[in-house]
């Protein structure tokens, strides 16, 4: 799936969620953590800026504070995978999403005329 297809997929999944209310308690924070977990080798500050890049790429937003519950739900599904079971879920950063997020940041850097984000 190329980046434009991924963006379209995320957008269509958000439309299916049809939840325009604010995210539930803790969901916004979980979304922040999940998106930042896609950049495990970066400093906290760099992970933050890359999270902002992902939000701009997928949603055209600069902060998780303006995201809806549906948007957070879809971003959590994108960024994480459960390696546990229904009784004891264990959520980790999705290996596929880690690669896709790196591609997105590389694309955004090139679009901005930079060699690398920070």
User: In the predicted model, what is the mean pLDDT of residues 80-87?
Assistant: 90
* pTM of the predicted model as reported, rounded to 2 decimal places: 0.88
Whole-angstrom distance, CA of residue 106 vs CA of residue 104: 5
Per-residue burial over 54-78, b = 16 or more CB atoms within 10 Å of its CB, e = otherwise: bbebbbeeeebeebbbbbbbbbbeb
Indicate the domain borders of the chain: 3-111
Mean pLDDT (the chain) is: 91
Residue 108, H or E segment: helix 95-112
Q: Tell me: the pLDDT tens digits for 37-73?
A: 999 999 999 999 999 999 999 999 999 999 999 999 9
- The strand ranges marked E within 7-117 are 80-82, 91-93
């Amino acid at each position: 799936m190329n980046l434009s297809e991924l963006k379209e997929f995320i957008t269509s999944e958000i439309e299916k969620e049809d939840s325009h209310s604010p995210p539930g308690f803790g969901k916004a924070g979980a979304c922040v953590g999940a998106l930042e977990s896609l950049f495990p080798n970066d400093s906290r500050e760099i992970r933050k800026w890359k999270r902002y890049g992902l939000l701009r790429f997928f949603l055209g937003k600069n902060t998780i504070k303006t995201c809806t519950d549906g948007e957070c739900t879809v971003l959590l599904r994108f960024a994480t995978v459960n390696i546990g079971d229904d009784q004891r879920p264990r959520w980790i950063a999705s290996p596929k999403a880690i690669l896709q997020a790196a591609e997105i940041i590389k694309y955004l850097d090139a679009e901005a005329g930079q060699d690398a984000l920070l």
